[in-house]
Amino acid sequence: MKIAVLSGKGGTGKTTVATSLAQSLPECQYIDCDVEEPNGAIFLNPDLSQKFPVQVLVPQVDDNKCNKCGECAKACQFHAIAVVKNKVLVFPEICHHCGACIIACPREAVSETKRTIGFVETSRRGHFLQGKLNIGEPISVPIIQDLKRRMHEGIPVILDCSPGASCTVVQSIEGCDYCILVTEPTPFGLHDLKIAVQVVKKMGIPFGVVINKATSDNTSIQDCCRESQIEVLLEIPFSKEIAEGYSRGLLPVQNELWKDKFRKLYKEVKKVQA
Amino acid sequence: MKQIAFVSGKGGTGKSTLVSSLSILVQDKMLADCDVDAPNLHILLNGKTLKQEDYFGAKEAVIDSSTCLKCGICRETCRFGAISEQLEIIPMKCEGCGACLLICPAQAISLAEAKTGQTYVSETARGTFSHALLDIGAEGSGKLVTEVRKNTFNFEENEKWLLIDGSPGIGCVVIASIIGTDAVVAISEPTKSGQSDLERVLAVARHFEIPAFVCINKYDLNPEITSQIESYCANNDFPVIGRIPFDPDVMKALQRFKTPVETGNPRVTEEITGIWIRLTEELAKPTAKQ
Ligand code: SF4
Ligand code: SF4
């Protein structure tokens, strides 16, 4: 079963939930899809033993064949290739690797070359995976795709997604069986939860909510979930102890009580598949 | 107008709380929320909409079924898996690159403008405010950010400052939020993840040669990591311009849609005032970017 953990708003405890769940299960694969700011390794301490570059294809122009007609630049929808002063310029960072310029060139002067935008690291047996986008690179989707190609079959897979609701989140949760939406009881948390709900509904994936930093005097999230008939899977109370452990890279599931709660959470989630 | 972008690497470190507090303390400024896929600032600002527009920030292929030969070459060409077996475009996957249109032997494919979000400019008690909302799962969040920033110039009335609320991460949205600004202020918290994310976002600011400054929120939660962050910043020339103490009242105020400044929290207000003073002093130094 493939379970994605996402949150809309950042800093609500997405990684806490994803890594706690991973540690509560006897066997699973954890994938950190937040390739801009991966944090799962801080909590799971994996033995990262393998590292693979993630490469994309960008155009390269053969000056001997090119007659500066400008067809490639006209074809590129992303302004990643331009003909200026009798020279073809490629802006590789903003290239979407689509290959349109190659098709457009009438003289077959455009070919492709590989370019590294980040890397993927895995533990020895591939139970822990993370990706990292290189500094200054805008496009992270190819790294997420690379991670997802390495998904295991037959054991639970937990995908820790990036915050927000843009194409990186869509890319991460696509094909998952269930989404856990993590939120917190603030106006920001509630607002962004509603956005995350729209994303998973649009993708048609079953989902439930985990409320982190729950307090008894603010039930805005519970009320909203009740009204919209959304299942609340778990409430993690606001606790200085948990926050302090988190700051040092420790998870609440160090404690058996919490391990148990996360096992129950998994059972709940699994019912959906049945 | 000097532009200051507030970013955090990691989400939830108090970025919007800081920006909304500064929106009260700083005079003569405009505001922009560039966290377009999960914007929050408008919740606290409550303005009157001056302009609201659909934004068409992407393209999408359209196949004319009456001229289509059903040859399927487009489907083989598309690198994004955006054309189904029935030769229909899957909008969520189409990047609007136009490769299919170039290859189609029957010229059955064209590109249409696709709506990717909505932009707003609002008049608020704290200044003109530009923001946006990305459509669910839409492409081109970076372009929408650029549009939000462009909108501020259309409504500019010689304000001295533009305060930009950025987004978490280091990718296209963050890059579009900080490029061309006068300074980046990164808000971190003393946790291992906060520390790691801060270092990455500072590296992005340096990559684009933008002066960057650091605020540590809830600095007293873990003094050990706070001092590690401070020595990292000292060694790499990122001035630390603020240390905001942990105070449960900040969250309580937020639950009532208020900033700590409005609820009269003297400790936090004093520190945030200090952050602004130190930032303006730093920017006035001759070494800072002109
Ligand atoms: S591969 Fe696509 S995005 Fe890249 S330069 Fe060519 S046409 Fe532009
Ligand atoms: S425009 Fe590009 S992404 Fe969209 S269907 Fe055509 S080839 Fe695929």
CATH class of the domain defined by A56-115: alpha beta
Chain B residue with CA closest to A57: the answer is B79
CATH class of the domain defined by B65-107: alpha beta
Chain B residue with CA closest to A167: the answer is B137
Chain A hits for B200, Cβ within 8 Å:
36-37, 135
What average pLDDT is seen over chain B? 94
Residue type, B242: G
Tell me: pLDDT of B234 over 90: yes
Contact criterion met (CB below 8 Å) for A188 and A7: no
Q: Pairing state of beta strands A207-214 and A178-183? A: parallel
E-strand ranges in chain A read 2-6, 29-32, 48-61, 81-84, 87-90, 110-123, 128-133, 157-160, 178-183, 207-214, 232-237
Does the domain at residues B2-55+117-283 carry the CATH identifier 3.40.50.300? yes
CA distance A248 to B72: 55
B97 lines ligand 1 (CB under 6 A): yes
Question: What is the number of the ligand closest to the CA of A93?
Answer: 1
Q: Is A216 on the interface with B (CB under 8 A)?
A: no
Residue B65 C-beta-side C-alpha neighbours within 13 Å: 4
Domain with CATH 3.40.50.300 in chain A: 2-47+124-273
Based on its alpha-carbon atoms, the radius of gyration of chain A, rounded to whole angstroms, reads 22
Domain with CATH 3.30.70.20 in chain B: 65-107
The backbone torsions φ and ψ at residue B190, rounded to the nearest 5 degrees and listed phi first, read -80, 70
Tell me if B169 and A187 make a contact (CB, 8 A cut-off). Answer: no
The backbone torsions φ and ψ at residue B213, rounded to the nearest 5 degrees and listed phi first, read -130, 160
Tell me if B9 and A187 make a contact (CB, 8 A cut-off). Answer: no
Chain B residue with CA closest to A198: the answer is B136
| Best to test chain B binding among A95, A247, A248 (most B CBs inside 10 Å) | A247
CA distance A99 to B77: 9
**pLDDT-derived band at B92, boundaries 50, 70, 90:** confident
Q: Is B261 on the interface with A (CB under 8 A)?
A: no
Looking at ligand 1, which atom is closest to the CA of residue A110?
6
Q: Pairing state of beta strands A207-214 and A232-237? A: parallel
CA distance B275 to B214: 10
Based on its alpha-carbon atoms, the radius of gyration of chain B, rounded to whole angstroms, reads 22
Contact criterion met (CB below 8 Å) for B152 and B128: yes
Q: Which residue bears the tokens 């970076």? A: B142
Residue A11's pLDDT is what?
A: 87
Tell me: pLDDT of B290 over 60: no
* Ligand 1 atom 4 nearest Cα: A95
CA distance A152 to A270: 17
Helix (H, G, I), strand (E, B) or coil at A159: strand
* Tokens found for residue A74: 């006209």
Q: What is the pLDDT of residues B18-59, one digit of tens each?
A: 999 999 999 999 999 999 999 999 998 888 999 999 999 999
Neighbours of A8 (CB within 10 A): 28
Chain B residue with CA closest to A100: the answer is B99
Tell me: pLDDT of B171 over 60: yes
Domain with CATH 3.40.50.300 in chain B: 2-55+117-283
Select from A37, A164, A203 the Cβ nearest to the Cβ of B38. Answer: A164
Residue B287's pLDDT is what?
A: 65
| Best to test chain B binding among A6, A9, A19, A37 (most B CBs inside 10 Å) | A37
Q: Is A223 on the interface with B (CB under 8 A)?
A: no
E-strand ranges in A62-134 read 81-84, 87-90, 110-123, 128-133
Residue B241's pLDDT is what?
A: 97
At the second CATH level, the architecture of A2-47+124-273 is: 3-Layer(aba) Sandwich (3.40)
- Taking chain A (274 residues) in runs of 10, the rounded mean pLDDT of each run is 93 94 96 96 95 97 94 96 91 96 97 97 96 96 97 96 91 96 94 94 96 91 94 92 88 89 95 80
* Tokens found for residue B63: 């196949």
Q: Is B116 on the interface with A (CB under 8 A)?
A: no
Q: Tell me the CA distances in angstroms from A268 to A132, A208, A232, A263, B12, one per residue in order.
A: 32, 10, 11, 9, 28
Q: Percentage of chain B surpassing pLDDT 90?
A: 83
A9 lines ligand 1 (CB under 6 A): no
B16 Cα to chain A: minimum distance (Å): 9
Tell me if A11 and B103 make a contact (CB, 8 A cut-off). Answer: no
